[in-house]
Amino acid sequence: MPEPASQSAERVVLAVGKSRRRPVIVLDALDESVGPGDIVSALLSKLIHIPRIRILVGSRHIGSRSSRLVVPGLRQHDDTIDLDLPKYLEPPDIVNYVRSRLLSTDEPWVKTPYRNRPELAEAVARAIAAKAGNNYLCARIVCSSVMSVDEVVNIHDEDWQEKFPNDIRAAFDGFLERLDELKVVGFNKRIAITLLTPLAFGEGEGLPRGYLWTSLANSIFHKNYTDKTDLSNLFDYAAAYIIESTEGGRSVYRLYHEALADYLRKTAPRNTYSLISKALLQVTPNLPGQDGKCWEIADPYIRTHLASYLSKAGLTDELDSLMQDIRYLVCADPERLLRALTRVRSEKARQATRVYRLAYLSMTTDRIIATLTEREQNVLRTRFGLNRKTRSAEMSRPRSYKETAAELALSPRQVRDTEARALRQLRTAGRTGRQLQATPTSLAERVVPASYLEDTARFLGLIGFANQVVELCQRPVALP
């Protein structure tokens, strides 16, 4: 089971902080990542405070280009380099790139009608580069388009150079038009757009290949495409624009570049998020003979990302109902669910949200405290009544220093000093971003940043209030 991204980030921070060397970290294409804001908050914002470290971040502007901040969350630095400036681009760079792809000398398996025709490849490469300017993505799309057909560009036609597009939208349009020219039975530009659009609205690392993907495409455009035929054709003829990744231990797919997602989102219906949300609910199995959904056997993508879609679609009634469905709360991904809960409206849903947050904290208490020594654990559990293995109200109540000392055979001062040392360690862990090892399989195995322990009194109140919900969430859910 792969570890959560937050734990991967903390491993990097801890390893770099302990290193005696002067490491250089390069993070490219931040804007194309699934969650650039999460990377900034979980990783970059902590790395920049470590001495002796150098960080190079490559990114397009995230958000408003009028802002001086390329990446929100990171302060502006004087050594920001704008690679769009002409002084950083040598004219031959894109020409060399396109020529290399057209010839594919070192890739004999790549289909290209320009192989072993260097003079023709040179002429076409210069024309493509001239139109693309300093836009590598535009040049890449046009290059893929001219390589996908059997006939080469006729450089003897009048104004043949002007036929190449000079921006990404026109370049992608040209690629899609080529799909019609291929005259593949049962596959064309419209089908490609329909099947690629769900990726433009994908959450997390991407969509799993199969029935869920085609169901979302069909719901957006009211079609009836299948994963065996139409999705297979998409991978045969448009695979260059799809990236395979992993999420939850299985392969998922997303678009090659955010610019392609922007293109597809502009052509999609305005209520696409709503259509996707309803489709996800529709493909989730119903409980036999009962009202409600059987979330235990729903696709993991639905359990992980449904709340995000409902939130973005503005379907507050459905989101409110979801927060009152205990079966869903047990199966959902807590970290992603909690991000989407700012839009709940009804009082019952808000109460459920508060209790869920408390349960999330309470069910990870053991993992947080497990980082301490046995003596420190015993002091905190006894002093604050954190022993959730007993139902006894007496065992769960907080104790004074004197009572704790008597039970553990320590002096009150030893209890006070041990408590202070333990809480100090937990606070330090919260500030450095260090969290505990966990597998993202259930609510009981999630991790809470130790910064929640900053206010001891608040911590005690949360634990006590959430215990009943914790017990409910820990009960096995039996299918009828």
Give the separation between CA 145 and CA 139, rounded to whole angstroms: 10
Give the separation between CA 281 and CA 337, rounded to whole angstroms: 16
Structure tokens at 133: 């300017």
Identify the three-state secondary structure at position 314. coil
Structure tokens at 57: 């971040």
Asked whether residue 218 falls in the same domain as residue 246, the answer is yes
Identify the three-state secondary structure at position 332. coil
| Helices and strands, number each (H, E), in the chain | 23, 4
Candidate ranges 40-44, 94-98, 173-177; pick with highest mean pLDDT: 94-98
Asked whether residue 447 falls in the same domain as residue 379, the answer is yes
Asked whether residue 134 falls in the same domain as residue 172, the answer is yes
Q: What is the CATH number of the domain that holds 441?
A: 1.10.10.10
| Residue span of the structural domain in which 326 resides | 274-345
Cα maximum dimension of the chain: 97
Query: One-letter amino acid identity for 299?
Result: D
pLDDT band at 363 (very low <50, low <70, confident <90, very high): low
Asked whether residue 54 falls in the same domain as residue 128, the answer is no
Structural domain contains residue 235:
yes
Structural domain contains residue 96:
no
Single out the residue of 193, 238, 253, 237 nearest to residue 217, CA to CA: 193
Boundary residue ending a domain (222, 253, 269) = 269
Asked whether residue 366 falls in the same domain as residue 470, the answer is yes
Asked whether residue 198 falls in the same domain as residue 233, the answer is yes
Give the separation between CA 195 and CA 215, rounded to whole angstroms: 10
Contacts of 157 (CB under 8 A, 6+ apart): none
Structural domain contains residue 383:
yes
Structure tokens at 70: 């390329």
Give the separation between CA 247 and CA 322, rounded to whole angstroms: 23
Asked whether residue 379 falls in the same domain as residue 439, the answer is yes
Structural domain contains residue 456:
yes
Identify the three-state secondary structure at position 106. coil
Q: What is the CATH number of the domain that holds 230?
A: 1.10.10
Segment 377-393 mean pLDDT: 68
Structural domain contains residue 91:
no
CA 123-126-128 angle, to 5 degrees, is 110
Single out the residue of 143, 137, 239, 151 nearest to residue 187, CA to CA: 239
Tell me, what's the pLDDT at 311? Answer: 92
In total, how many domains does the chain have?
Answer: 5
In the chain, % of residues over pLDDT 70: 75
Q: Are 25 and 440 in contact (CB under 8 A)?
A: no
Lowest mean pLDDT segment, chosen from 60-64, 304-308, 358-362: 60-64
Structural domain contains residue 92:
no
Structural domain contains residue 239:
yes
Tell me, what's the pLDDT at 76? Answer: 52
pTM of structure? 0.67
Boundary residue ending a domain (269, 286, 314) = 269
Structural domain contains residue 205:
yes
Boundary residue ending a domain (157, 182, 207) = 182
Lowest mean pLDDT segment, chosen from 12-26, 308-322, 425-439: 425-439
Asked whether residue 377 falls in the same domain as residue 441, the answer is yes
Q: Read out DSSP for 17-76?
A: HH-SS--EEEE--GGGSS-HHHHIIIIIHHHTTSTT-EEEE-----S-TTSS-SSTTS--
Candidate ranges 43-57, 209-223, 371-385, 416-430; pick with highest mean pLDDT: 209-223
Asked whether residue 366 falls in the same domain as residue 452, the answer is yes
Q: Say whether pLDDT at 434 is over 60.
A: no
Asked whether residue 223 falls in the same domain as residue 299, the answer is no
Asked whether residue 381 falls in the same domain as residue 466, the answer is yes
Query: One-letter amino acid identity for 448?
Result: V
Tell me, what's the pLDDT at 119? Answer: 93
Q: Are 385 and 464 in contact (CB under 8 A)?
A: yes
Asked whether residue 368 falls in the same domain as residue 455, the answer is yes
How many of the other CB atoms lie within 10 Å of CB of 316? 15
